[in-house]
Amino acid sequence: MPAQESPHILVIEDSPQELRALQSLLRGEGYRVTLATDGRQGFQRAIALQPDLILLDVRMPVLDGFATCRLLKEAPRTQHIPVIFLSSAGAIEERLEGLTHGGVDYVLKPCHPDEVLARVRIHMRLGSRTRGPAAIEADAFLSHDEITLRAAVRLIREQLGALPSLEDIARKVGTHDKRLSAIFRQHMGTTVFAWIREERLRKGRELLMETSLGLQDIAESVGFRSACNFITAFRERMGVTPSQFRKASRGDALATNE
């Protein structure tokens, strides 16, 4: 198989000696293998090299595997690349977190090289290498800060009802709280907390219009401590109570359908 046509695998692992047998097997099968020893280096190499598949450890210094995967899935150049986690982090919560954040598979260490090879072959067949013009065009304008912002926005929306602290949000997207705050101010024109408040109210409006959930359930689902807090914030922002808003929106819907 010509070298330029050989499938390319990026291994992101802070203890690469643990995977020496796997690397040898992959190379013996004709795969090109590139190593990175922490998540930040791995993310940068994935952007530059665009491998066919990534094998990713979870517990690493600098940038852990979950944060790395979040960034990979927000970057147009890498969002299509299959990610297989190889990790000793075996708790069900950790395995689910890896799969939720974009991993296609999760293999526990110590792992048998032949099993990993079999999984690599499966996901190589399933994975698509096609990328549309829109993704390529977007690459030219998407900075690292913008990728971080996209990852933070997705994380906040997914966990709106029970958000972690700002420090944890920043850590989960590979940065620190002051830097994340600066990114929001630069690109969103507001603070992280102000954006979260607006997002909670936006989601609250959506639930008022599209569901029959009670105010307490809506308040909890968007991260307010109580229905009273939600009602107060909603009225301050919208000028009407949630119940008035729901009634008016349904009246508009009925009028539209008449």
Would you state the pLDDT for residue 3?
Answer: 44
175-204 average pLDDT score = 96
Query: Which of 203, 197, 199, 209 has its CA nearest to residue 243?
Result: 209
For the cut 90, the answer to whether the pLDDT of residue 166 exceeds it is yes
Average pLDDT taken over every residue of the chain: 89
Q: Are 33 and 27 in contact (CB under 8 A)?
A: yes
What SS3 state is found at 33? strand
User: 28-32, 90-94, 249-253 — which is least confidently predicted?
Assistant: 249-253
Q: How far apart are CA 106 and CA 73, in angstroms?
A: 16
Report the first-to-last Cα separation within the chain, whole angstroms: 66
For the cut 80, the answer to whether the pLDDT of residue 133 exceeds it is no
Would you state the pLDDT for residue 257?
Answer: 38
Q: How far apart are CA 87 and CA 146, in angstroms?
A: 28
E strand segments, the chain: 8-12, 32-36, 53-56, 83-87, 105-108
Would you state the pLDDT for residue 137?
Answer: 53
As a CATH number, domain 3-136 is 3.40.50.2300
Architecture of domain 194-257: Orthogonal Bundle (1.10)
- CB neighbour list of residue 99: distance below 8 Å, 6 or more residues apart: 106
Residue 5 — pLDDT band, cuts 50, 70, 90?
Answer: confident
Reported pTM: 0.82
Residue 128 — pLDDT band, cuts 50, 70, 90?
Answer: low
